[in-house]
Chains A and B, each alone.
Chain A
Amino acid sequence: MRLFLLALLAKEPAHGYELKQALEQIFGSAYPSPNIGQIYVTLGRLEKDGLVRAVDVEQTNRPNKKVYYLTAAGRESLDSWADEPTEGPRVRDEFFMKLVLAPMTGIADRMTLINRQRRHYLALMRDLNELAERTAPEDRIALLLIEGAMLHLQADLDWLERCQEDLS
Protein backbone atom coordinates (compact mmCIF):
# COMPACT_ATOMS: atom_id res chain seq x y z
CA MET A 1 0.00 0.00 0.00
CA ARG A 2 2.96 2.34 0.66
CA LEU A 3 3.77 2.94 -2.99
CA PHE A 4 0.14 3.27 -4.05
CA LEU A 5 -0.30 6.08 -1.54
CA LEU A 6 2.94 7.74 -2.66
CA ALA A 7 1.70 7.62 -6.25
CA LEU A 8 -1.58 9.27 -5.32
CA LEU A 9 0.24 11.95 -3.35
CA ALA A 10 2.53 12.64 -6.30
CA LYS A 11 -0.58 13.76 -8.14
CA GLU A 12 -1.65 16.14 -5.38
CA PRO A 13 -1.45 16.50 -1.62
CA ALA A 14 -4.38 14.89 0.16
CA HIS A 15 -5.68 13.84 3.55
CA GLY A 16 -6.30 10.25 4.49
CA TYR A 17 -9.96 10.08 3.62
CA GLU A 18 -9.36 11.62 0.19
CA LEU A 19 -6.79 8.91 -0.51
CA LYS A 20 -9.33 6.23 0.35
CA GLN A 21 -11.86 7.80 -2.01
CA ALA A 22 -9.28 8.15 -4.78
CA LEU A 23 -8.36 4.45 -4.57
CA GLU A 24 -12.01 3.50 -4.78
CA GLN A 25 -12.69 5.79 -7.67
CA ILE A 26 -9.65 4.84 -9.75
CA PHE A 27 -9.82 1.09 -9.29
CA GLY A 28 -13.54 0.50 -9.09
CA SER A 29 -14.02 -3.00 -7.79
CA ALA A 30 -10.51 -4.01 -8.84
CA TYR A 31 -9.10 -3.06 -5.45
CA PRO A 32 -10.62 -4.24 -2.21
CA SER A 33 -12.06 -1.20 -0.47
CA PRO A 34 -9.19 0.04 1.74
CA ASN A 35 -9.65 0.39 5.44
CA ILE A 36 -9.19 3.99 6.60
CA GLY A 37 -7.26 2.92 9.70
CA GLN A 38 -4.80 1.06 7.53
CA ILE A 39 -4.32 4.15 5.39
CA TYR A 40 -3.51 6.29 8.44
CA VAL A 41 -1.10 3.69 9.80
CA THR A 42 0.70 3.55 6.44
CA LEU A 43 0.83 7.35 6.20
CA GLY A 44 2.34 7.45 9.70
CA ARG A 45 5.08 5.04 8.65
CA LEU A 46 5.78 6.94 5.44
CA GLU A 47 6.07 10.12 7.51
CA LYS A 48 8.50 8.46 9.93
CA ASP A 49 10.63 7.32 6.97
CA GLY A 50 10.68 10.85 5.58
CA LEU A 51 8.82 10.00 2.37
CA VAL A 52 5.81 12.18 3.12
CA ARG A 53 5.24 15.13 5.37
CA ALA A 54 2.01 16.26 7.02
CA VAL A 55 0.77 19.78 7.59
CA ASP A 56 -2.10 20.62 9.89
CA VAL A 57 -4.87 22.50 8.20
CA GLU A 58 -7.27 24.35 10.41
CA GLN A 59 -10.95 23.70 9.96
CA THR A 60 -13.82 25.64 11.40
CA ASN A 61 -16.00 23.66 13.83
CA ARG A 62 -13.83 20.57 13.39
CA PRO A 63 -10.50 19.27 14.60
CA ASN A 64 -7.55 20.10 12.34
CA LYS A 65 -6.93 17.71 9.51
CA LYS A 66 -3.60 16.53 8.31
CA VAL A 67 -2.80 17.03 4.66
CA TYR A 68 0.02 14.87 3.39
CA TYR A 69 2.43 15.73 0.64
CA LEU A 70 5.31 13.93 -1.02
CA THR A 71 8.91 14.76 -0.02
CA ALA A 72 11.90 14.61 -2.39
CA ALA A 73 12.86 11.27 -0.88
CA GLY A 74 9.31 10.04 -1.45
CA ARG A 75 9.47 11.17 -5.05
CA GLU A 76 12.74 9.29 -5.48
CA SER A 77 11.40 6.05 -4.11
CA LEU A 78 8.29 6.39 -6.30
CA ASP A 79 10.47 6.97 -9.38
CA SER A 80 12.54 3.87 -8.77
CA TRP A 81 9.33 1.85 -8.27
CA ALA A 82 8.01 3.05 -11.61
CA ASP A 83 11.34 2.49 -13.39
CA GLU A 84 11.88 -1.10 -12.27
CA PRO A 85 10.28 -3.97 -14.14
CA THR A 86 7.72 -5.68 -11.92
CA GLU A 87 8.44 -9.22 -10.78
CA GLY A 88 6.90 -11.84 -13.10
CA PRO A 89 4.64 -14.63 -11.87
CA ARG A 90 6.26 -17.19 -9.65
CA VAL A 91 6.29 -20.41 -11.61
CA ARG A 92 8.06 -22.50 -9.04
CA ASP A 93 4.95 -22.54 -6.96
CA GLU A 94 3.73 -24.97 -4.38
CA PHE A 95 2.09 -27.23 -6.93
CA PHE A 96 5.36 -27.49 -8.82
CA MET A 97 7.15 -28.59 -5.66
CA LYS A 98 4.39 -31.09 -4.92
CA LEU A 99 4.50 -32.47 -8.44
CA VAL A 100 8.22 -33.10 -8.22
CA LEU A 101 8.45 -34.30 -4.62
CA ALA A 102 5.23 -36.21 -3.94
CA PRO A 103 5.81 -39.08 -6.39
CA MET A 104 9.32 -39.56 -4.98
CA THR A 105 7.90 -40.29 -1.59
CA GLY A 106 5.20 -42.58 -2.98
CA ILE A 107 2.36 -40.56 -1.43
CA ALA A 108 0.75 -39.56 -4.72
CA ASP A 109 1.21 -40.27 -8.41
CA ARG A 110 1.77 -37.50 -10.90
CA MET A 111 -1.21 -38.26 -13.11
CA THR A 112 -3.58 -37.93 -10.16
CA LEU A 113 -1.94 -34.70 -9.03
CA ILE A 114 -2.16 -33.17 -12.49
CA ASN A 115 -5.75 -34.25 -13.05
CA ARG A 116 -6.83 -32.88 -9.71
CA GLN A 117 -5.02 -29.61 -10.29
CA ARG A 118 -6.64 -29.26 -13.74
CA ARG A 119 -10.10 -29.64 -12.25
CA HIS A 120 -9.21 -27.08 -9.61
CA TYR A 121 -8.01 -24.54 -12.19
CA LEU A 122 -11.13 -25.08 -14.27
CA ALA A 123 -13.28 -24.48 -11.21
CA LEU A 124 -11.35 -21.25 -10.57
CA MET A 125 -11.92 -20.30 -14.20
CA ARG A 126 -15.60 -20.88 -13.77
CA ASP A 127 -15.57 -18.54 -10.76
CA LEU A 128 -13.83 -15.90 -12.86
CA ASN A 129 -16.37 -16.29 -15.66
CA GLU A 130 -19.11 -15.75 -13.16
CA LEU A 131 -17.31 -12.79 -11.62
CA ALA A 132 -16.86 -11.20 -15.06
CA GLU A 133 -20.57 -11.62 -15.70
CA ARG A 134 -21.59 -9.78 -12.58
CA THR A 135 -19.02 -7.00 -12.97
CA ALA A 136 -20.48 -3.88 -14.57
CA PRO A 137 -19.17 -3.11 -18.08
CA GLU A 138 -18.13 0.40 -16.89
CA ASP A 139 -15.86 -1.17 -14.30
CA ARG A 140 -13.12 -1.40 -16.92
CA ILE A 141 -10.10 -1.70 -14.64
CA ALA A 142 -11.76 -4.54 -12.76
CA LEU A 143 -12.62 -6.36 -16.00
CA LEU A 144 -9.03 -6.06 -17.17
CA LEU A 145 -7.86 -7.50 -13.88
CA ILE A 146 -10.23 -10.44 -14.30
CA GLU A 147 -9.09 -11.01 -17.86
CA GLY A 148 -5.48 -11.00 -16.67
CA ALA A 149 -6.31 -13.63 -14.07
CA MET A 150 -8.02 -15.74 -16.76
CA LEU A 151 -5.01 -15.59 -19.04
CA HIS A 152 -2.72 -16.61 -16.19
CA LEU A 153 -4.96 -19.58 -15.46
CA GLN A 154 -4.93 -20.53 -19.12
CA ALA A 155 -1.14 -20.53 -19.03
CA ASP A 156 -1.18 -22.68 -15.89
CA LEU A 157 -3.46 -25.17 -17.66
CA ASP A 158 -1.28 -25.26 -20.76
CA TRP A 159 1.68 -25.94 -18.55
CA LEU A 160 -0.16 -28.80 -16.80
CA GLU A 161 -0.74 -30.28 -20.22
CA ARG A 162 3.00 -30.12 -20.93
CA CYS A 163 3.71 -31.81 -17.61
CA GLN A 164 1.24 -34.54 -18.42
CA GLU A 165 2.83 -35.16 -21.81
CA ASP A 166 6.37 -35.20 -20.50
CA LEU A 167 5.98 -36.98 -17.20
CA SER A 168 3.71 -39.81 -18.29
Chain B
Amino acid sequence: MSREAGGGRRRAADESGTDPVERGERPARDERPAERVRSGERPMRADPVVATVNLVKIYQNGGVPVPAVRGVDLRVERGEFVAIMGPSGSGKSTLVHMLGGLDPRTSGEIWLDGKRADTLGESAWALLRRKKIGFVFQFFNLVANMTVADNVELPALLAGASPREARERRERLLDALGLTGRADAAPAQLAGGEQQRVALARALANRPSLLLADEPTGNLDSRNTRDVLKLLGEVHRDGQTIIMVTHDARVASLADRVVSLLDGQIVDDGAVAAPRRRPKGTAGDVVELRG
Protein backbone atom coordinates (compact mmCIF):
# COMPACT_ATOMS: atom_id res chain seq x y z
CA MET B 1 0.00 0.00 0.00
CA SER B 2 1.14 3.48 -0.70
CA ARG B 3 -1.30 5.72 1.05
CA GLU B 4 1.43 8.25 1.53
CA ALA B 5 2.42 8.30 -2.11
CA GLY B 6 1.51 11.57 -3.76
CA GLY B 7 -0.17 12.78 -0.63
CA GLY B 8 2.60 14.96 0.70
CA ARG B 9 1.63 18.17 -1.04
CA ARG B 10 -1.42 19.88 -2.29
CA ARG B 11 -1.48 20.79 -5.90
CA ALA B 12 -0.57 24.24 -7.10
CA ALA B 13 -4.12 24.82 -8.31
CA ASP B 14 -5.44 24.41 -4.79
CA GLU B 15 -3.67 27.58 -3.83
CA SER B 16 -5.23 29.66 -6.57
CA GLY B 17 -7.90 30.92 -4.23
CA THR B 18 -10.98 30.06 -6.26
CA ASP B 19 -13.58 27.64 -5.06
CA PRO B 20 -12.88 24.11 -6.31
CA VAL B 21 -16.50 23.53 -7.24
CA GLU B 22 -16.64 26.72 -9.25
CA ARG B 23 -13.46 25.66 -11.01
CA GLY B 24 -15.17 22.45 -12.05
CA GLU B 25 -12.66 20.42 -10.12
CA ARG B 26 -13.29 17.17 -8.41
CA PRO B 27 -13.21 17.10 -4.64
CA ALA B 28 -9.88 16.45 -3.01
CA ARG B 29 -8.79 12.86 -2.98
CA ASP B 30 -9.98 11.91 0.44
CA GLU B 31 -13.58 12.91 -0.25
CA ARG B 32 -13.52 11.52 -3.77
CA PRO B 33 -16.55 9.36 -4.37
CA ALA B 34 -15.90 5.67 -4.77
CA GLU B 35 -17.78 5.63 -8.07
CA ARG B 36 -14.69 7.15 -9.69
CA VAL B 37 -13.28 3.66 -9.71
CA ARG B 38 -14.84 2.06 -12.75
CA SER B 39 -17.51 -0.46 -11.99
CA GLY B 40 -16.47 -4.06 -12.01
CA GLU B 41 -12.80 -3.26 -11.58
CA ARG B 42 -11.90 -3.05 -7.97
CA PRO B 43 -14.42 -2.79 -5.21
CA MET B 44 -12.35 -0.76 -2.76
CA ARG B 45 -10.51 2.46 -3.41
CA ALA B 46 -7.64 1.13 -5.46
CA ASP B 47 -4.07 2.29 -5.48
CA PRO B 48 -3.51 5.01 -8.01
CA VAL B 49 -2.03 3.77 -11.27
CA VAL B 50 0.62 6.46 -10.99
CA ALA B 51 1.77 8.53 -8.07
CA THR B 52 4.86 10.69 -7.90
CA VAL B 53 6.29 12.44 -4.87
CA ASN B 54 8.46 15.52 -5.35
CA LEU B 55 9.80 14.10 -8.58
CA VAL B 56 12.90 15.86 -9.90
CA LYS B 57 15.01 15.50 -13.03
CA ILE B 58 18.18 17.48 -13.54
CA TYR B 59 20.10 16.83 -16.74
CA GLN B 60 23.79 17.61 -16.95
CA ASN B 61 24.63 19.55 -20.06
CA GLY B 62 28.42 19.79 -20.33
CA GLY B 63 28.71 20.16 -16.58
CA VAL B 64 25.85 22.68 -16.42
CA PRO B 65 22.80 21.39 -14.54
CA VAL B 66 19.55 21.71 -16.52
CA PRO B 67 16.55 21.28 -14.22
CA ALA B 68 13.86 19.77 -16.45
CA VAL B 69 11.35 18.59 -13.83
CA ARG B 70 11.29 20.36 -10.50
CA GLY B 71 9.24 18.69 -7.82
CA VAL B 72 6.18 17.14 -9.43
CA ASP B 73 3.45 15.52 -7.33
CA LEU B 74 1.03 13.77 -9.62
CA ARG B 75 -1.58 11.18 -8.80
CA VAL B 76 -3.52 9.40 -11.52
CA GLU B 77 -6.38 7.07 -10.67
CA ARG B 78 -7.35 3.94 -12.53
CA GLY B 79 -9.30 4.74 -15.66
CA GLU B 80 -8.39 8.41 -15.66
CA PHE B 81 -7.39 10.22 -18.87
CA VAL B 82 -4.92 12.98 -18.02
CA ALA B 83 -3.60 15.43 -20.61
CA ILE B 84 -0.30 17.17 -19.96
CA MET B 85 0.13 20.55 -21.60
CA GLY B 86 2.72 23.29 -21.43
CA PRO B 87 5.22 25.22 -23.55
CA SER B 88 8.14 23.62 -25.32
CA GLY B 89 10.88 22.77 -22.84
CA SER B 90 8.55 22.74 -19.84
CA GLY B 91 9.48 19.12 -19.04
CA LYS B 92 6.53 17.18 -20.45
CA SER B 93 8.56 14.52 -22.29
CA THR B 94 10.99 14.23 -19.41
CA LEU B 95 8.11 13.60 -17.01
CA VAL B 96 6.46 10.85 -19.04
CA HIS B 97 9.81 9.24 -19.81
CA MET B 98 10.48 8.98 -16.09
CA LEU B 99 7.01 7.51 -15.52
CA GLY B 100 7.83 4.80 -18.05
CA GLY B 101 11.28 4.17 -16.60
CA LEU B 102 12.96 5.37 -19.80
CA ASP B 103 14.89 8.09 -18.05
CA PRO B 104 16.12 7.75 -14.44
CA ARG B 105 14.86 10.32 -11.95
CA THR B 106 17.29 12.54 -10.09
CA SER B 107 15.27 12.48 -6.85
CA GLY B 108 11.76 11.86 -5.59
CA GLU B 109 9.52 8.82 -5.84
CA ILE B 110 7.50 7.06 -8.54
CA TRP B 111 4.79 4.57 -7.58
CA LEU B 112 3.00 2.42 -10.12
CA ASP B 113 -0.06 0.46 -9.00
CA GLY B 114 0.98 1.03 -5.41
CA LYS B 115 4.51 -0.30 -5.84
CA ARG B 116 7.66 1.73 -5.64
CA ALA B 117 9.16 1.90 -9.13
CA ASP B 118 11.87 4.57 -9.14
CA THR B 119 14.24 2.27 -7.30
CA LEU B 120 13.97 -0.51 -9.91
CA GLY B 121 16.90 -1.46 -12.11
CA GLU B 122 16.76 -1.39 -15.89
CA SER B 123 15.74 -5.00 -16.38
CA ALA B 124 12.97 -4.76 -13.78
CA TRP B 125 11.68 -1.66 -15.56
CA ALA B 126 11.79 -3.49 -18.88
CA LEU B 127 9.68 -6.26 -17.41
CA LEU B 128 7.23 -3.78 -15.91
CA ARG B 129 6.86 -1.96 -19.23
CA ARG B 130 6.27 -5.18 -21.08
CA LYS B 131 3.47 -6.14 -18.72
CA LYS B 132 1.85 -2.87 -17.88
CA ILE B 133 2.85 0.13 -19.92
CA GLY B 134 2.24 1.14 -23.51
CA PHE B 135 4.42 3.99 -24.71
CA VAL B 136 4.01 6.26 -27.74
CA PHE B 137 7.12 8.34 -28.24
CA GLN B 138 7.15 11.92 -29.47
CA PHE B 139 9.55 10.75 -32.15
CA PHE B 140 7.99 7.36 -32.74
CA ASN B 141 10.47 4.55 -32.99
CA LEU B 142 9.21 1.53 -34.81
CA VAL B 143 11.40 -1.48 -35.47
CA ALA B 144 12.70 -0.71 -38.97
CA ASN B 145 13.16 -4.24 -40.29
CA MET B 146 9.76 -5.53 -39.25
CA THR B 147 6.43 -5.01 -41.00
CA VAL B 148 3.74 -2.79 -39.54
CA ALA B 149 1.77 -5.89 -38.53
CA ASP B 150 4.75 -7.41 -36.71
CA ASN B 151 5.57 -4.13 -35.00
CA VAL B 152 2.07 -4.07 -33.56
CA GLU B 153 1.90 -7.75 -32.62
CA LEU B 154 5.29 -7.89 -30.92
CA PRO B 155 4.37 -6.22 -27.61
CA ALA B 156 1.34 -8.45 -27.20
CA LEU B 157 3.46 -11.54 -27.84
CA LEU B 158 6.12 -10.32 -25.41
CA ALA B 159 3.43 -9.80 -22.81
CA GLY B 160 2.37 -13.43 -23.22
CA ALA B 161 -0.61 -13.27 -25.59
CA SER B 162 -1.16 -16.21 -27.92
CA PRO B 163 -0.28 -15.59 -31.60
CA ARG B 164 -3.97 -15.68 -32.42
CA GLU B 165 -4.88 -13.13 -29.77
CA ALA B 166 -2.04 -10.91 -30.88
CA ARG B 167 -3.16 -11.09 -34.50
CA GLU B 168 -6.79 -10.35 -33.72
CA ARG B 169 -5.88 -7.41 -31.55
CA ARG B 170 -3.53 -6.10 -34.26
CA GLU B 171 -6.24 -6.38 -36.92
CA ARG B 172 -8.72 -4.52 -34.77
CA LEU B 173 -6.29 -1.70 -33.93
CA LEU B 174 -5.04 -1.22 -37.48
CA ASP B 175 -8.60 -1.20 -38.71
CA ALA B 176 -9.65 1.44 -36.17
CA LEU B 177 -6.78 3.64 -37.31
CA GLY B 178 -7.39 3.17 -41.02
CA LEU B 179 -4.15 1.25 -41.52
CA THR B 180 -5.33 -2.19 -42.59
CA GLY B 181 -3.94 -1.65 -46.07
CA ARG B 182 -0.48 -0.88 -44.69
CA ALA B 183 -0.08 -4.00 -42.54
CA ASP B 184 2.66 -5.50 -44.72
CA ALA B 185 4.59 -2.30 -45.28
CA ALA B 186 7.90 -1.49 -43.60
CA PRO B 187 7.91 1.58 -41.34
CA ALA B 188 10.20 3.47 -43.72
CA GLN B 189 7.55 3.21 -46.43
CA LEU B 190 5.00 5.05 -44.30
CA ALA B 191 4.21 8.74 -44.04
CA GLY B 192 4.91 10.39 -40.69
CA GLY B 193 1.26 10.41 -39.69
CA GLU B 194 0.94 6.71 -40.56
CA GLN B 195 4.00 5.80 -38.47
CA GLN B 196 2.50 7.72 -35.61
CA ARG B 197 -0.73 5.75 -35.79
CA VAL B 198 1.22 2.48 -35.97
CA ALA B 199 3.09 3.55 -32.84
CA LEU B 200 -0.23 4.09 -31.09
CA ALA B 201 -1.54 0.70 -32.21
CA ARG B 202 1.65 -0.91 -30.94
CA ALA B 203 1.36 0.82 -27.57
CA LEU B 204 -2.18 -0.47 -27.14
CA ALA B 205 -1.44 -4.00 -28.35
CA ASN B 206 -0.73 -5.56 -24.98
CA ARG B 207 -3.73 -3.90 -23.33
CA PRO B 208 -1.44 -2.01 -20.96
CA SER B 209 -2.80 -0.86 -17.63
CA LEU B 210 -1.19 2.50 -18.39
CA LEU B 211 -0.85 4.24 -21.75
CA LEU B 212 1.85 6.91 -21.83
CA ALA B 213 1.77 8.96 -25.02
CA ASP B 214 3.95 11.89 -26.02
CA GLU B 215 2.26 14.04 -28.70
CA PRO B 216 0.54 11.13 -30.44
CA THR B 217 -1.27 13.44 -32.87
CA GLY B 218 1.61 15.77 -33.65
CA ASN B 219 1.91 14.74 -37.30
CA LEU B 220 -1.70 14.03 -38.11
CA ASP B 221 -4.12 15.91 -40.30
CA SER B 222 -7.57 16.48 -38.96
CA ARG B 223 -9.14 13.34 -40.40
CA ASN B 224 -6.46 11.08 -38.94
CA THR B 225 -6.64 12.97 -35.67
CA ARG B 226 -10.34 12.14 -35.64
CA ASP B 227 -9.57 8.41 -35.99
CA VAL B 228 -7.05 8.60 -33.17
CA LEU B 229 -9.48 10.53 -30.97
CA LYS B 230 -12.16 7.98 -31.62
CA LEU B 231 -9.89 5.08 -30.70
CA LEU B 232 -8.66 6.85 -27.58
CA GLY B 233 -12.25 7.59 -26.60
CA GLU B 234 -13.11 3.91 -27.00
CA VAL B 235 -10.21 2.50 -25.01
CA HIS B 236 -10.76 5.15 -22.36
CA ARG B 237 -14.43 4.16 -22.05
CA ASP B 238 -13.23 0.57 -21.63
CA GLY B 239 -11.23 1.71 -18.61
CA GLN B 240 -7.82 2.43 -20.13
CA THR B 241 -5.73 4.79 -18.00
CA ILE B 242 -4.08 7.40 -20.22
CA ILE B 243 -1.42 10.02 -19.58
CA MET B 244 -0.88 12.03 -22.71
CA VAL B 245 1.33 14.94 -23.55
CA THR B 246 -0.36 17.10 -26.16
CA HIS B 247 -0.45 20.56 -27.67
CA ASP B 248 -3.66 19.68 -29.45
CA ALA B 249 -6.58 21.23 -27.63
CA ARG B 250 -9.05 18.86 -29.32
CA VAL B 251 -7.22 15.93 -27.77
CA ALA B 252 -6.78 17.63 -24.41
CA SER B 253 -10.45 18.55 -24.24
CA LEU B 254 -11.36 14.84 -24.26
CA ALA B 255 -9.31 14.22 -21.14
CA ASP B 256 -10.86 14.05 -17.70
CA ARG B 257 -8.18 16.32 -16.38
CA VAL B 258 -5.54 18.69 -17.72
CA VAL B 259 -2.21 19.19 -15.99
CA SER B 260 -0.26 22.27 -17.10
CA LEU B 261 3.49 22.34 -16.73
CA LEU B 262 5.68 25.42 -16.75
CA ASP B 263 9.42 25.31 -16.13
CA GLY B 264 9.23 21.77 -14.80
CA GLN B 265 6.46 22.46 -12.30
CA ILE B 266 2.73 21.89 -12.26
CA VAL B 267 1.01 25.28 -12.44
CA ASP B 268 -2.54 24.05 -12.95
CA ASP B 269 -4.31 20.75 -12.49
CA GLY B 270 -8.03 20.38 -12.89
CA ALA B 271 -10.97 18.74 -14.58
CA VAL B 272 -12.18 19.85 -17.98
CA ALA B 273 -15.78 20.95 -17.52
CA ALA B 274 -18.36 18.55 -18.96
CA PRO B 275 -20.06 19.72 -22.14
CA ARG B 276 -22.90 22.05 -21.41
CA ARG B 277 -26.16 20.42 -22.32
CA ARG B 278 -27.43 22.08 -25.42
CA PRO B 279 -29.18 19.30 -27.22
CA LYS B 280 -30.77 21.41 -29.94
CA GLY B 281 -27.94 23.81 -30.71
CA THR B 282 -26.50 23.63 -34.21
CA ALA B 283 -23.26 24.97 -35.60
CA GLY B 284 -25.02 28.17 -36.64
CA ASP B 285 -26.34 28.77 -33.13
CA VAL B 286 -23.11 27.96 -31.37
CA VAL B 287 -20.48 29.43 -33.62
CA GLU B 288 -21.14 33.11 -33.87
CA LEU B 289 -20.36 35.26 -36.84
CA ARG B 290 -18.18 38.18 -35.98
CA GLY B 291 -18.31 41.65 -37.37
Are A115 and B260 touching (Cβ within 8 A)?
A: yes
A118 within 8 A of B: yes
A92 within 8 A of B: no
A7 within 8 A of B: no
Q: How would you classify the secondary structure of chain A's contact residues: helix, strand, loop or mixed?
A: helix
A99 within 8 A of B: no
Q: How would you classify the secondary structure of chain B's contact residues: helix, strand, loop or mixed?
A: loop
Q: Which residues of A contact B87 (CB under 8 A)?
A: 161-162, 164-165
CA distance A129 to B226 in the complex (A): 10
A153 within 8 A of B: yes
Closest B residue by C-beta to A154: B249
Chain A interface category by residue count: 35 or more
Tell me the residues in window 33-78 of chain B with beta carbons closer than 8 Å to chain A beta carbons: none
Are A150 and B18 touching (Cβ within 8 A)?
A: no
A25 within 8 A of B: no
Q: Which residues of B contact A122 (CB under 8 A)?
A: 249, 252-253, 258, 272-273
CA distance A130 to B286 in the complex (A): 12
Q: Name the distance in Å between A66's Cβ and chain B's nearest Cβ.
A: 27
Q: In the complex, identify which listed stretch (A29-37, A42-50, A70-78) lies at the interface while the others stay far away.
A: A29-37
Give the number of A-B contacts (CB < 8 Å).
118
A40 within 8 A of B: no
Q: What is the number of residues of chain B that contact chain A, defined by CB distance less than 8 Å?
A: 40
Max count, chain B CB within 10 A of own CB: residue among A30, A123, A149 = A123
Tell me the residues in window 67-105 of chain B with beta carbons closer than 8 Å to chain A beta carbons: 85-87
Closest A residue by C-beta to B86: A161
Max count, chain B CB within 10 A of own CB: residue among A90, A127, A142, A154 = A127
**Which of B252, B270, B283 is close to A142, meaning CB atoms less than 8 Å apart?**
B283
CA distance A146 to B250 in the complex (A): 12
Question: Considering the complex of A and B, which 9 residue pairs feature the smallest CB-CB distances, nearest first?
Answer: A29-B282, A125-B253, A142-B283, A123-B273, A115-B268, A32-B284, A126-B253, A31-B284, A130-B275
Chain A: residues with CB nearer than 8 A to chain B? 27-33, 86-87, 89-90, 111-112, 115-116, 118-119, 121-123, 125-131, 135, 139, 142-143, 145-150, 153-154, 157-158, 161-162, 164-165, 168
